[in-house]
Chain A
Amino acid sequence: MIHLSFVDWLRAAPVVALILQFLVALNLGEHRGRWVTQDDEPRSSTRFAAIDLFIDSGNDPLAAWQVEFHATKGVVRIVGIESGEHAVFGDDPPYYDPDAMMNDRVILAQYSLGRADSLPTGRTRIATVHVQIEGEMEPQFSMLLQAAGDDEGCRIAAEVTFEMRIDQ
């Protein structure tokens, strides 16, 4: 073990200061890209984002759907669920299952009794999930189509995708 007297510390101070300055600069450099995105705000590890959920039902009219969405990595809290783009599913945002929400999993479902020609086809934004993200880790999400059906109640093949938006 090395024992340094107060005088030794004083003598070593310029060297220690240099090392500290280097470490601090290194650390700042690592994060500088993200800091720019926060405008003049102090650095916060908490940010908010909107994640658009899409279903692509191809040429089939989409009359009913149920999806599950959750984060597989990162600390994410769901803070809002916004209506999709198609009015045929009504004005109100889709309901969520409170049981699933207790674990920050979202199970959403909607249906429409509209005629086939009023239903969406192709890629449709069915909802937007608003989230709060905490920590440095970039979150990863998973989305699962549990069911999709057409106006005759038949199951249809469809694909789900999602896109995250962060206002920086």
Chain B
Amino acid sequence: MKSRRFKLLHIPASIAVVFGGIWGCDSGRMVQNAQYQRQSTETGSYFDPSRTGYLAPGTSAHARASRTTVAPVGPSEEIWIITPPPDRTGISKRDGVDLLGGFGGDGLVDPLIFDAFDEDATLRDLVDPCGGIIGIPSHRGTSTPAFVPVPLEHTSVEAEISAFVATVDVEQQFHNPYNSKIEAVYVFPLPQDAAVNEFIMTIGERRIRGIIRPREEAEQIYLEARRQGYVASLLEQQRPNIFTQKVANIEPGKRIDVNIRYFHTLAYDDGWYEWVFPMVVGPRYNPPGSNDPINPVSRTGDTRFGGTRGGTNVPYLAPHDRSGHDISLTCEIDAGVNIEEVLCNSHAVDVDARGSSLTRITLSPRDVIPNKDFVLRYRVAGDRIKTAMLTQHDPSKFGGAGHFALMIYPPADLSYIDRRPLEMIFVLDCSGSMEGEPLALAKRAVERALRQLREDDAFQMIRFSDRATMFAAKPQAVNSDTVTRGIDFLNSLSAGGGTRMLDAMDEALDSIEESRCDRDRYIVFLTDGFIGNEDEVLGLMQERLDRRDGHSTRIFSFGIGSSPNRFLLERMAGLGGGVVAYVGLGDSPAEVMDRFIERSSHPALKDISIDFGGMDVRDVQPGRVPDLFAGRPVIITGRYHGEASAEVGVEGVAGTRELSIPVEVSIQEGAISHDGIACIWARSAIAGLENRAMVDDDREIAHVIEELALRYGLASARTSFIAVDGSERTHGAFGTMVPVAVPVPDGVQYQTTVDQ
């Protein structure tokens, strides 16, 4: 029998008592909500209105406040909501769950203690036909949950946001639960623009600062220290958003912490700042022949998907496996202006407003499984805020050069400029990792877009997994018939297979080259981005776009799901002259697509030049200032000599009109300086060099990246952090390498990715 399961919550308490309180909806689909009481003293709620994204369109939800004890839940267990299949035939205890309670289709809690029934009792026997049951994975039968000890016990994240820059401290607490020495290996994500410039290894009370070194040299030092029995740790970058942490010679029962600090800038979209902390690397597909793949493997090392062709292995927990690794997170925002609203669709959080412009957000202890991106949005006062410049200037460093970061806001309204017809090529990822909710979100987003297009627009759809296929031979003019056929095509799509994004990219660019030229042409990728050959895809894209005259085709990317590959998506949009948007599991795809259509309906401000007044500015990053879309500012960074200026002018072209934007740079006493700006500039410069390296095989580029990363103390593809405790050796051989197995991202199916 096939049942639909939604993971509800993870309760780390030794004993928790679950209460009824379930969201239901008229369609019979269930969304997550439960109330619980922890050791009879702490009460919380999982009701989160933002999660109504799970509901089918047009259905209404209703809650029930009553609470009824149904069963005790043990430590490290999860609770599941199980909705019955449409025929309501019986789910029973034989299906591998301990049934805790049920609820009726009208949303009223109808608690049942299933222990009172025998094992053959079915859902149909016990609850309303439109109802569902809640339960925990059974400790009997084939679905017995296994506790998987991993050497990473806890990750602690502390972020401070000032203006549009975040300073983030991540502590990874490693512990050896075994009776012999181990080496812990953990593959984890960080933001794609994270400028990692601090690394400290803590052994007991002793704290040892890691040193940035050329990658090969750091690795050799680590291997030698490991061989000789010294405690050592190594941080290597596999992708701009994927890192590997290795800790050698952890003795039995001992704990070793690793602290990482990084800086990065926040995204800003239509009045909302967004800060993201990724928690898990999604299972990547690597086409045959991929260099340096990111291989998803089972926790036992099985590599049916991805193979053992070198590269980086990411071990995943099976669906019923649970590890003790959890996460805590706090984020302090000092916005400088009033914070009007704080929103977190991805996680349960506690918000503590400490003043009009100061807020502390804490991840709820009820939401501690690190299996999805933490996405925090907050809105600040005012229709639009001033263009802001942050600087860092220490005459004793970097040859006396200062560094700046400037956020440039587009004109508030470009609607007076005529809208040009659009030609939209939607490229949908239908690979196995998109199975379920991610593909459903993508479909709804595209359907919404089709309904928003006008009659002088045109559209095309390309679905891809192991191969790419098109909706029509060429882009179709928009009319009621083509839109209907397009929606039928969408509804026919299902997920499965690999992620051959190169083929899809080729098809999309071929398609657009053959089409009419009097429309603004957009290629819109909707994908989780779970591929391991990012360089190949980005290289092809860059090469094909460079061959064209100008940039008449823009590439936009929509990141779908709970943990999309933001590096790929951001870089695609950046190279393609477009912007990126994300549709998380808790987001409304319609709202996101509406904002996209609204934005793309206005011409972007392009050919931008910046007059820095009296400032002696050099090495501006990115090298080509991105086009400005309505509601989406861009951040540029650079180096300067002399004094920072408060007068900056921006000029550009919107449609056929030349526009000059007076930019008032906000330089407030004491607020303009930030210690992370130099690192952020260097990280941006490295990203620009990496883009060049994708299409230019010049070895000098790698050398420049290394030099830059060493000078600014940054982890990069060419540099790694190494820390060795040279004061004492541990006893015996260096022991077994133990990878830290991680859960697949929320909403992603293990069976269609890792277990493919």
Interface residues of A (CB under 8 A from B): 41, 44, 46-50, 77-83, 91-99, 101-102, 128, 130-132, 165, 167
Contact = CB atoms under 8 A, between A and B. Distances in A.
Contacts of B217: 77
Interface in B199-225: 200-201, 206-213, 217, 221, 224-225
Contacts, number: 91
B330 to A, nearest CB: 18
A156 B224 CA distance: 41
Contact of B200 (A50, A79, A93): A93
A48, A95, A99, most chain B CB atoms within 10 A: A48
A131 B726 contact: yes
Interface of B: 200-201, 206-213, 217, 221, 224-225, 228, 230, 232, 397, 710-713, 722-729
A139 to B, nearest CB: 13
B394 to A, nearest CB: 11
Contacts of B724: 48, 79-80, 130, 132
A81 B211 CA distance: 8
B206 A83 contact: yes
B458 to A, nearest CB: 53
Classify the secondary structure of A's interface with B: strand
A92 B201 CA distance: 10
A23 B270 CA distance: 80
A79 B727 contact: no
A82 B711 contact: no
Given A77-B217, A93-B209, 16 more contacts: A44-B224, A48-B726, A50-B726, A77-B221, A79-B726, A80-B209, A80-B726, A81-B208, A93-B207, A93-B208, A98-B712, A101-B212, A101-B710, A130-B723, A130-B724, A130-B727
22 contacts: A47-B228, A50-B725, A50-B726, A77-B217, A79-B225, A80-B208, A80-B210, A80-B724, A80-B726, A83-B207, A91-B207, A92-B209, A93-B200, A93-B207, A93-B208, A96-B209, A98-B711, A101-B212, A102-B710, A132-B224, A132-B225, A167-B729
B726 A132 contact: yes
B228 A48 contact: yes
Contacts of A81: 208-209, 211
A79 B228 CA distance: 15
Contacts of A83: 206-207
A46 B727 contact: no
Contacts of B207: 82-83, 91-93
Contacts of B224: 44, 46, 132
A79 B206 CA distance: 15
A82 B712 contact: no
Nearest to A131: B726
A11 B208 CA distance: 62
A43 to B, nearest CB: 12
A3 B482 CA distance: 94
Contacts of B221: 77, 79, 132
A69 B209 CA distance: 16
Given A48-B230, A93-B200, A101 B726 contact: no
Contacts of B713: 98
Contacts of B729: 167
A112 B224 CA distance: 37
